[in-house]
Amino acid sequence: MRPATILIIDDHAAVRTLLARVLEDAGYQVWEAANGREGLERFRVHPVDLVITDLEMPEMNGLEVIVELIRLCVDVRVIAMSGLSGEELQQATLIGARRTLPKPLDLQALLQVVHSELQQLPREWGAFTPTVMAQDASVQPRSSGPNEGVSPPPG
């Protein structure tokens, strides 16, 4: 069975790198995106089992990202995180985030929430297979480094 896949969307490189290392050490396969638009493109190209997104980002905020992710894949599992307000986290839950976490993150709590969300996947699926069509499966996991680019969609 393949490891569960996680996409981290956060505009702070240090946060992405830290979360990626913690999640990779826990046995997950991790992709990163520096903003909401990049995160949506990565999800379109390579659907994942779980998305972890910050809510405060330039270009496209996390609430907008959650709405678009759900439009792409009704089954998407999203964990939202924010250091701003509990109200913003509550809004994320109302529009479709399955869980929320305040920043600064408690990494042990993050791992517990991630594990809990991924354990709820139907057994016959193995790792989650979202109901979305990938345009190009050539995107590789984070192994190339945190600054790798996104391949443009074919066309």
Instruction: Provide the residue count of the chain.
Output: 155
Does some domain include residue 153? Answer: no
86 vs 22 pLDDT, higher one: 22
Quick one: pLDDT band at residue 35, thresholds 50, 70, 90?
A: very high
Tens of pLDDT along 47-83? 999 999 999 998 899 999 999 999 999 999 999 999 8
Does some domain include residue 150? Answer: no
pLDDT at residue 1, rounded to an integer: 72
Amino acid at 154: P
Q: What is the pTM of this model?
A: 0.78
Edge-to-edge strand list for the sheet holding 50-54: 29-33, 5-9, 50-54, 78-82, 99-102
The boundaries of the domain holding residue 23 are 5-128
The C-alpha torsion from 91 through 92 and 96 to 99, rounded to 10°, is -120
Beta bridge partners of 122: none
Tens of pLDDT along 89-144? 999 999 999 999 999 999 999 999 999 999 986 544 444 444 443 333 333 344 43
Query: What's the CATH code of the domain at 25?
Result: 3.40.50.2300
The total number of structural domains in the chain stands at 1
Quick one: pLDDT band at residue 151, thresholds 50, 70, 90?
A: very low
